[in-house]
Amino acid sequence: MSTASHYKPNLRDTYFNLFEFLRVQDTSLGRKPFGDLDEATARQTLESIIPVATGLMSEGFIEGDREGLQFDPKTHTVTLPPKMKACITNYFESGLNLLDLPVHLGGVGAPPSLSWAGFEFVAGSNAAAAYYYLGNVLTRIIDELATDAQKKRFVGPMLERHWGGTMVLTEPDAGSDVGAGRTRATQVKDDLYHLEGVKRFITNGDYDATENIIHLVLARPEGKGPGTRGLSMFIVPKFLVNDDGSLGARNGVFVSNLEKKMGLKASATCELTLGDGVPCQGWLVGNVHDGMRQMFHVIEHARMAVGIKSAATLSTAYLNALAYVKERKQGADLVAAAVDRNAPRVTVINHPDVRRMLLLQKSHAEGMRALVLFAASVQDEVELQGGHRTPEAAEASALSDLLLPLIKGYCSEKTYELLSVSLQCFGGSGYLQDYPIEQYIRDQKIDSLYEGTTHIQALDLLLRKVAKNGGATLQALLERVGRTLKSKEGGAALEAERAALAQAVGSLQEAFNALMEKLGESLYHVGLQGNRLLFALSETIIAWLLVRHAAVAVEKLPGAGETDARFYEGKIASARFFCQEVLPGVGLAAQQVKGSTLMAMELSEDAF
């Protein structure tokens, strides 16, 4: 496989989402607090990412996997393959890091809808490289949460010299139970602390493409209580930073192990040891003990990024499969062969099961992009109304929070499942490294595990996001779906799809009501049925968005040119297929929730 050929972006569908469906040119672009962007500039900005994504970044995708990383336990340093280093350097030289930086930090100030759309191209091309850009995000968070002195020390150098960044939560004995963390923090003076402990599974804990790395670390200060409420967040640089921004001595945070993984091999997943032999200095963020709430600024960004990475992977996998089945000839047409055993061979795309697999991928890939960019447009609303903590943005903020577990949980799980369908389109060739799908599968699996497993996302959805305000946010979202049904968007052309959507909404409400009744028996029912409800809600919302997409396509199709006409026909087909083939599963989920028992929890361990 050509190293530059694997990634296939879908710029046309991105434009459709942003400018034809969401119409961000009317709702977000050029409005404060965002930068001065109009539609033409926004399109040019997204177009400028494509050559970077399909060029050097795509080349690094292959080399990073084949060559992997080098770890020197004596110097505690991680060395990247040359093209992976070049990917990181090129990203900053191209100015792509400026897209999601606010104007006051010298950035473009793009709204989330535009910056997340651009991130899809980066993550789809080389997810391992995309995660090395987290320092950009941490700069924004430190600028928002830190004291003036901390900002002065760290923000400028991080921006100007493109320092890396990590989020440091997990510990060997704690895993996803962050509140069980035992890393200690001892106050030295004011906001300066010494940290001691071991952290595990730290993405890009060290690498040689930047002169410094800023770790945001959760640790428990002396005297603070147990659980997550006793944790505080600290700025821990790899190299200490002098008052003038220059680098000082090596800080006592060292890589003590590099994990050997099934995929995403160019991303340095590290064990970090703090305060062993050399003091590990950390600055209490904002000089306040509010670590978990502060860290959620990073966690929520990471969860959105993981969901987009999953959606981007499915999209390029589908487009690779589509290109292959249009070229590969094998077998005769099913109908023709029944009449004439000597019927000519046809391209694989002419076989019914292949078309079914293609539509399965296409509808989900477009549906995930619709979900992601709809959520991003809600994030636009939050920013336009003053941010998450303002009363004016409360409703939009709650909806943004509700959508996040759908994006992270559903997209990561479903993409891993559907990548096997992508590979199947290639037949035996898909199992070879000649094509990228086998690496996509290996790189994808981690998405359902880190930043909170799928079931953690389900519990977050049900026990926090839905329960937080008595289900009001969920009900408001379903009322939006109801308005689409009442207004009969798409007219007669989409009558069947709206009927399927209405039935799914009814089934979804039955499933939630059944779970609420079962909670009187045991909270275990949430654990047993949580993933099922997460998927059912995700697929209902995706169907709603695809139907609305199709309604736009129905309206525009009559006057469209040939290329656009084929695109709009494809949008209608995606909605039709999803409503016919996927949505009936919501009704099945409702029946399963209603009929569920506690058998699994009552079973003796020895019976397993």
Helix (H, G, I), strand (E, B) or coil at 259: coil
- Angle value at C-alpha 456, between 117 and 368, nearest 5 degrees: 25
Position 185 in a domain? yes
Residue 206 has pLDDT above 70, yes or no: yes
In a shared domain, residues 481 and 588:
yes
Residues 6+ apart with CB under 8 A from 70: 78, 79
How far apart (Å, rounded) are the C-alpha atoms in residues 367 and 216? 34
Q: What's the pLDDT at 3?
A: 43
Identify the residue whose tokens are 């950035």: 107
Report the relative pairing of strands 213-221 and 184-189 from DSSP bridges.
Answer: parallel
In a shared domain, residues 195 and 127:
no
Position 523 in a domain? yes
In a shared domain, residues 185 and 103:
no
DSSP 582: T
Domain carrying residue 35: 11-141
449, exposed or middle or buried, with CB in 10 Å at 0-12, 13-18, 19+?
Answer: middle
CA distances to 131, 265, 295, 376 from 301, rounded to whole Å, are 11, 22, 10, 11
How far apart (Å, rounded) are the C-alpha atoms in residues 229 and 442? 36
**Mean per-residue pLDDT, 186-206:** 97
Identify the residue whose tokens are 């396509």: 553
Position 573 in a domain? yes
Identify the residue whose tokens are 């539609």: 39
Structure tokens at 350: 């002419």
- Final residue of a domain: which of 259, 290, 321? 290
Q: What's the pLDDT at 389?
A: 85
Strand partners, 237: 214
Q: What's the pLDDT at 413?
A: 98
- Give the count of alpha carbons within 13 A of 589, CB side only: 30
Position 450 in a domain? no
Structure tokens at 467: 């329960």
In a shared domain, residues 485 and 562:
yes
Q: What's the pLDDT at 519?
A: 93
Q: Is-catalytic flag, 451?
A: yes
Structure tokens at 143: 């600028």
Position 457 in a domain? no
176, exposed or middle or buried, with CB in 10 Å at 0-12, 13-18, 19+?
Answer: middle
584, exposed or middle or buried, with CB in 10 Å at 0-12, 13-18, 19+?
Answer: middle
Q: What's the pLDDT at 130?
A: 94
Q: What's the pLDDT at 5?
A: 78
Tens digit of pLDDT for each residue in 51-100?
A: 999 999 999 999 999 999 999 999 999 999 999 999 999 999 999 999 99
Tens digit of pLDDT for each residue in 157-175?
A: 999 999 999 999 999 988 8
Q: What is the CATH number of the domain that holds 50?
A: 1.10.540.10
How far apart (Å, rounded) are the C-alpha atoms in residues 211 and 283? 20
Residues 6+ apart with CB under 8 A from 177: none
In a shared domain, residues 485 and 591:
yes
How far apart (Å, rounded) are the C-alpha atoms in residues 343 and 336? 6
- Angle value at C-alpha 362, between 357 and 365, nearest 5 degrees: 125
Closest CA to 501 of 409, 593, 586, 403: 586
Residue 1 has pLDDT above 80, yes or no: no
Query: Cis before residue 33, ω within 30 degrees of 0?
Result: yes
How many domains does the chain contain in total?
A: 3
In a shared domain, residues 488 and 580:
yes
Tens digit of pLDDT for each residue in 102-152?
A: 999 999 999 999 999 999 999 999 999 999 999 999 999 999 999 999 999
Position 443 in a domain? no
- Provide the greatest CA pair distance for the chain: 87
Kind plus residue range of the DSSP H or E element containing 255? strand 253-258
In a shared domain, residues 39 and 74:
yes
DSSP, residue by residue, 179-235: GG---EEEEEETTEEEEEEEEEEEETS--SSSS-EEEEEEEEETT--SSGGG-EEEE
Tens digit of pLDDT for each residue in 359-376?
A: 999 999 999 999 999 999
Q: Is the Cβ–Cβ distance between 350 and 452 less than 8 Å? A: no
Tens digit of pLDDT for each residue in 572-605?
A: 999 999 999 999 999 999 999 999 999 999 999 9
Tens digit of pLDDT for each residue in 412-447?
A: 999 999 999 999 999 999 999 999 999 999 999 999
**Mean per-residue pLDDT, 13-24:** 98
Identify the residue whose tokens are 């942003």: 18
Closest CA to 272 of 136, 181, 158: 181
Position 364 in a domain? no
Cα-Cα-Cα-Cα torsion 440, 446, 448, 451, nearest 10 degrees, comes to -130
Residue 347 has pLDDT above 90, yes or no: yes
Q: Which of 171, 451, 489, 539 is catalytic?
A: 451
In a shared domain, residues 96 and 176:
no
How far apart (Å, rounded) are the C-alpha atoms in residues 555 and 491? 9
In a shared domain, residues 220 and 101:
no
In a shared domain, residues 284 and 168:
yes
Identify the residue whose tokens are 């290996």: 442
Structure tokens at 422: 């992508």
In a shared domain, residues 29 and 80:
yes
How far apart (Å, rounded) are the C-alpha atoms in residues 170 and 163? 22
CA distances to 189, 203, 271 from 172, rounded to whole Å, are 29, 14, 9
Q: What's the pLDDT at 2?
A: 46
Report the relative pairing of strands 239-241 and 247-250 from DSSP bridges.
Answer: antiparallel
Q: Is the Cβ–Cβ distance between 275 and 90 less than 8 Å? A: no
How far apart (Å, rounded) are the C-alpha atoms in residues 341 and 161? 67
Cα-Cα-Cα-Cα torsion 76, 82, 85, 91, nearest 10 degrees, comes to 180
In a shared domain, residues 182 and 284:
yes
Report the relative pairing of strands 345-347 and 239-241 from DSSP bridges.
Answer: unpaired
- Final residue of a domain: which of 237, 268, 290? 290
Q: Which of 242-246, 274-278, 442-446, 568-572 has the lowest mean pLDDT?
A: 242-246
Helix (H, G, I), strand (E, B) or coil at 28: coil
Number of helices (H), then strands (E), belonging to the chain: the values are: 22, 14
DSSP 493: G
Helix 472-487 to helix 495-518 angle (10° resolution) is: 160
Q: What's the pLDDT at 280?
A: 98
